[in-house]
Amino acid sequence: MKPGIALSIAAALLLATAASARADAAAGAAAFKAGQCTACHYTEGPAREVTIEDQLAKTGPELWYAGSKFQRPWLEAWLQDPKPIRPLKYNSLTEDNPGDHPVLAAADAASITDFLMSLVSDAVETGVIKPKKHPKGRLIFTKKMPCSGCHRFPTKKPFKGGRSGPSLVGAGERLNPDWIYAYLKSTKVFKPVRMMPVFVGLLSDKDMKFVAAYVASFK
């Protein structure tokens, strides 16, 4: 085959794949709406919350950057078997998470995952963080900063972490390592009003990368 023809075929295949992904995302968006997902999740950025009341009015996490936050295989599997991530009900300090997220059939889960993974934020730089059990990251997470006070994390010690934040057990399969770093670095972009302290100005950029790599190593 002549190189020119091969190139044309490759380009056509690429275009077809891109068009198919767009079609899948569009079908997923329709399924997301039809499934009443919008009752708890908003998917159009930027962040809308200005006051604490805005945050407390929400009944589920914002998903407008879901494609930057999650790992696709985890998301598709979770939608079919949605075990609680947060020990407590969203925005509650007194009620346990009832674990009542709707369970999706495989086809809907795949379609909605296509849609959610198309929602990306340009505040997440790709390829920056590689998961690593770095001692500095562990030191900051477990000793220097209060991360474990609110987040469950994998450890053999009796104290497994607090309950007010989402559990970080399994974060290595669930979260995009680059998003973890971006979430620490660009607080206001993703969650302008949150119960977690702002660490910009308290942790250096290097330290944030250590913490992100450490959290991304959690099984």
Partner 1 sequence: MSKLTILAVVVASLGLPAVAAAAEVEVMFKFYCAQCHGLGGKGDGPNVSPDFPVSPRNFTSAEEMNKLTDADLKNVILDGGPSVSKSPMMPPWGKTLSEAEVDALIRHIRVLCACKGKQG
CA quadruple 115, 116, 117, 123: dihedral sign: positive
- Please choose, out of 12-20, 24-32, 177-185, 198-206, the segment that lies near partner 1 by the rule CB under 8 A: 198-206
Q: Smallest gap, in angstroms, from Cβ of residue 150 to partner 1?
A: 6
Q: Smallest gap, in angstroms, from Cβ of residue 69 to partner 1?
A: 21
Q: Smallest gap, in angstroms, from Cβ of residue 50 to partner 1?
A: 13
CA distance 95 to 157: 26
Binding mask 93-112 for partner 1 (x = CB under 8 A): xx------------------
**Tokens encoding 90:** 């969203």
CA distance 191 to 49: 8
Please answer whether residues 162 and 169 qualify as being in contact, where contact means their C-beta atoms are separated by less than 8 angstroms.
no
- Report if residue 136 touches partner 1, rule: CB under 8 A: no
Residue placing its CB nearer to partner 1 in the complex, 70 or 199? 199
DSSP string, 120-169: --TTS-TT-------HHHHHIIIIISSHHHHS----SSS----SSS---T
Residue placing its CB nearer to partner 1 in the complex, 25 or 212? 212
Residue placing its CB nearer to partner 1 in the complex, 7 or 198? 198
- Report if residue 159 touches partner 1, rule: CB under 8 A: yes
Contact residues toward partner 1 (CB under 8 A) are 52-53, 55-56, 87-88, 93-94, 143-146, 148-150, 158-160, 162-164, 195, 197-202
